[in-house]
Structure 1
Amino acid sequence: MTSSSPRSQQHATRAAFFIPGFAAAVWAPLVPFAKTRAGLDDAALGLVLLCLGTGSLLAMPLAGALTARQGCRRVMLVTTALIVAMLPLLAWMPTPLSLGLVLFGFGAGIGAMDCVMNMQAVAVERDSGRAMMSGFHAFYSIGGLAGAAMTTLLLALGAAPWLAAVVAVVAIVLLALGFAGHWRSERVAQDAPLLAWPRGVVLFIGVLGFVVFLAEGAVMDWSAVFLIEARAMAPARAGAGFVVFTLVMTVTRLWGDGLVERLGRQRAIGLGAALACIGFLLAVLVPAWWVALLGYAMVGLGCANIVPALFSLTGQQKVMPESVAIPAVTTLGYAGVLAGPALVGFVAHSSSIGIALACVAMALAGVALSTRSLMRNLR
């Protein structure tokens, strides 16, 4: 058992959530530059982005099993080192193959960290005796806001993409050095399986997570491209879409625990998914860049507390042990990151980016309509 204080562990958990959110958001404004540098069209970009999701998906079950045997601290140190190693390379890769390989490694680091930080968060929340999950996830959004804003600002000031990536690496290293000593080191179980297939309500929760992560991934990887190609924004400013999305999500999650307690998890998930659906449709249907930004803000507001609520429900269910249910839900949920950007790219290539994003909106409508059934299955 780790010897650090509960308060120190809570702060360290927030730092753990900040790191992957920050790193992923640094990549988002760089996507149009990487697309141009590697000579990719929409379909090819979608295929290359598939590498990021594949790396994440494959790393998650391994990260869960290693955490059970080695503890959160060791695994998060390794994943942070992988993120730091891959991030600068994203700005330099000149071919689709090299970019795809680096994205695979970068995605593995992000995905593994996402899995382990949620395992740590569930343990820290349980020890605290109060709801903390939305607050922890808020720091993922804070990291996203900081990463997107910093990178967009540096690019707007004329900095090269590689320089923005190096500045981000320095920030991540300093943060890890300050908080890694308070990441939990106890081993949860020695016989945890490498891969646990979700079943019952765990599968239901994972499918809903898949859709929400798909929507968030669509904003992260395609918002800048959509604003450039469909709304004629300058490339150096197109990261504003992800910044607005992340800012609204961050503010909403900071008060998310109290909001979810007042609304109840069923209403929080259902109303959030409906609002996000409307946001995507607004961005797609109204031909003005500022309306698109408003739509992204609504997506951030709607999606903000869905994923934290789903992880809390995973901790409440009795179908599967928590130590295997959390990695299973994380893996299935983040499969949305694997499928989402690629599917958006393929649909955009055959029709338009707008139609692809409208399809995401319809999937969110399905989430909104399924919440009553979800709560029935939890009883």
Structure 2
Amino acid sequence: MSSAPGIRQTRAVAKARFGASVAFAIVGFLLAVWLVHIPAVQQATGISKAELGTTLLALGLGSLISMQAGGLLISRFGARMPLLAGHLLLAVTLLAPAFATDAVTLGIALFLFGLGNGLADVSMNAEAVEVERDRGKAIMSSMHAFFSIGTALGAAYGWLVQTVQLAVLPSFVIAAALAVGFAFVAMALLPKRGAEPDVTTSELLAVSRASGDSRPGKSTRTVPISQIVLLALLAFVLMLAEGVASDWSALHAVDVLGESEATGAIAYGAFAVSMTVARFMVDFVVRRFGSVAVVRFGSLISAVGLGIVVVSPAFWVALVGWTVFALGVAGVVPQIFTAAGNLPVKKRAVVLSRIVSAGYVGMLAGPAVVGWVAGFTDLSIALTVPLVLCLLGLVGASSVRAAAGGSSAKPTSGDAEGTAARPGS
């Protein structure tokens, strides 16, 4: 009988973890559905590639604005309801591009879609931080892996509806309906938390052990502004590097190595698959070696991977490079978000939203920066920019120490055993 509360707690945490996983997958699914329909929407509106590029900026702008508002909402109401609102807004506004008739109306539609994306993005990361704290061990990387699974499902759905030649609007309606249904499933699984609680010493100790930093620091009430700035900078530069693979891996194979477009697509496929698989494995590495080690060595491995791509004389060598890059960068950003969500500050959800926003700006800027540099030099040289930025992770890795300010990046055997014995692990 005495074990019943522990069993109930374990089940509740397991439900919350599954709910958070579904939340990440929903966002990835809806974004992928939009991405695979871009050519059809462009054709329907009759806009040029330049106009399309401008309208896509509206999506980013909407996301950044709602991320800031999302942080305030999460501090006031907790992450659960803002997350549902973000899911519903993202699903409903997915329909908007189907009604666009020109660049202006498409820009407005994508701005609204971005509002939903930003709110859902910061809310799901905030909820994942809470679930990770309840569980007492690292799970953030696997949450991000479910986002990748969602994008794969969205791409598969897009292929299916385009194969049967379903029009854009009914395709979006079906996808939105599926997303809304699963959004309510996720909400039902997530616990009601209410307003963001004050940070307690016991919570900070739990976070410290979960992230592999076993000794609490002297202060649990304040954190240097420099740590917040450094986390934001790391999110910016490392997500910038991560974003480069999405837009330039295939083009590198085609333009630099002379491969066909079909072969070039394999380069991004190798990156995406390796990233997803690695994110399911990173949490175990964090528990064993700590978050600081994951960021430090992950950044180094990422730089090595890009270095291989830059000097690759043949496609198979570049393929190895993109795979190595994915294995390195896979677990870095989740550790930054975990650290941001556990900083011992008031309204830490607001701080998290700022750092997520910084990373999002980097993701948007990365492909453009590489494109500008490539315009003056060549693509291989341009890829040295994200390579150098990855090396900044070596310098700034210590900023992701547990919010309690632990000084050890590697848990002791006693800590590891204690974590394994916690309910819900």
Of 47, 69, 82, the match for 1:38: 47
Among candidates 130, 134, 137, match of residue 130 of structure 1: 137
Structure (1 or 2) with the larger CA radius of gyration: 2
Task: Name the structure 2 match of 1:265.
Answer: 291
Indicate if the aligned counterparts of 2:95 and 2:172 stay in contact, CA closer than 8 A.
Answer: yes
- In the TM superposition, residue 259 of structure 1 has moved relative to its aligned partner by 0.9
Distance of 1:86 and 1:289 partners within structure 2 = 40
Aligned residue for 1:51? 58
Equivalent position of 2:75 in the other structure = 68
Q: Secondary structure at the match of 1:186?
A: coil
Asked if structure 1 preserves the Cα contact closer than 8 Å seen for 2:126 and 2:341, the reply is no
For the residues of structure 2 that align with 1:243 and 1:34, how far apart are their CA atoms?
A: 24
How far 1:66 sits from its partner (Å)?
1.5
Indicate the residue corresponding to 1:215 in structure 2.
241
- Would the aligned equivalents of 1:20 and 1:110 in 2 still touch at CA under 8 Å? yes
Structure 2 residue 26 is the aligned partner of structure 1 residue 19: yes
Shift of 1:58: 1.4
For 1:96 and 1:71, locate their aligned partners in 2 and report how far apart those are by CA, in whole Å.
37
Q: 2:383 aligns with which of 339, 342, 357?
A: 357
Per mean C-alpha deviation after superposition, the further-off stretch among 20-29 and 163-172 is 163-172
Q: Deviations over 1:223-254 (max 9, x none)?
A: 4555565555447x865544432221221121
The answer to whether the Cα contact below 8 Å between 1:347 and 1:356 also exists between their aligned partners in 2 is yes
Q: Give aligned pairs, total.
A: 367
What is the alpha-carbon distance in structure 1 between the residues aligned to residue 261 and residue 134 of structure 2?
48
Residue 78 (structure 1) shift? 2.1
Could you say if the C-alpha distance between residues 180 and 335 of structure 1 is closer, same or farther in structure 2, counting changes exceeding 3 Å?
same
Correspondence for 2:225 among 172, 191, 199: 199
Aligned-partner residue type, residue 74 of structure 1 = M
Name the CA distance, whole Å, in 2 between partners of 1:184 and 1:309.
23
Per the alignment, residue 77 of structure 1 pairs with: 84
The worse-fitting range, judged by mean Cα deviation, of 348-357 and 205-214 is: 348-357
Which residue type is aligned with residue 299 of structure 2? A
Q: Does 1:308 align with 2:334?
A: yes
TM-score (norm 2): 0.72
How far apart are residue 207 of structure 1 and its match? 0.8
> Which residue pairs with 2:210 in the alignment?
none
Report the RMSD for the aligned CA atoms in angstroms. Answer: 3.7
Long gaps (5+) in structure 2: 1-8, 199-223, 408-425
Matching of residues 320-359 of structure 1 within 5 Å:
322-359=348-385
Report Cα offsets for 1:76-102 as digits up to 9, x if no partner.
Answer: 222112222343555785755444433
In structure 2, do the counterparts of structure 1 residues 27 and 190 end up closer, same or farther at CA, with 3 Å as the change threshold?
same
Aligned-pair distance for 1:23?
A: 2.7
SS in 1 for 2:240: helix
Aligned partner letter, 2:151:
G
TM-score by length of 1: 0.80
Which residue matches 2:421?
none
Paired position in structure 1 for 2:281:
255
Structure 2 counterpart of 1:194: none
Contact 2:13 2:135 in 1 (8 A): yes
| Distance across 1 between alignment mates of 2:158 and 2:389 | 30
Q: Which moved more, 1:345-354 or 1:301-310?
A: 345-354
Contact kept? 2:94, 2:176, Cα under 8 Å: yes
Residues in 2 aligned to 1:39 and 1:291: alpha-carbon distance in whole angstroms: 35
Quote how far apart the aligned CAs of 1:13 are. 0.8
- 225-234 vs 60-69, greater mean Cα deviation: 225-234
* 3-state SS in 2 of match to 1:188: coil
Give the AA of the match of 2:286: V
Alignment of 1:101-250 (within 5 A): 101-151=108-158, 157=163, 159=165, 162=168, 168-189=175-196, 199-223=225-249, 232-234=259-261, 240-250=266-276
2:112 partner letter: G
For 1:323 and 1:271, how far apart are their aligned partners in 2? 28
Q: 1:297 matched to which residue of 2?
A: 323
State the Cα distance separating 1:214 from its structure 2 match.
Answer: 1.5
Distance 1:141 1:346 in 2: 28
CA change 1:28–1:345 in 2 (3 A) is: farther
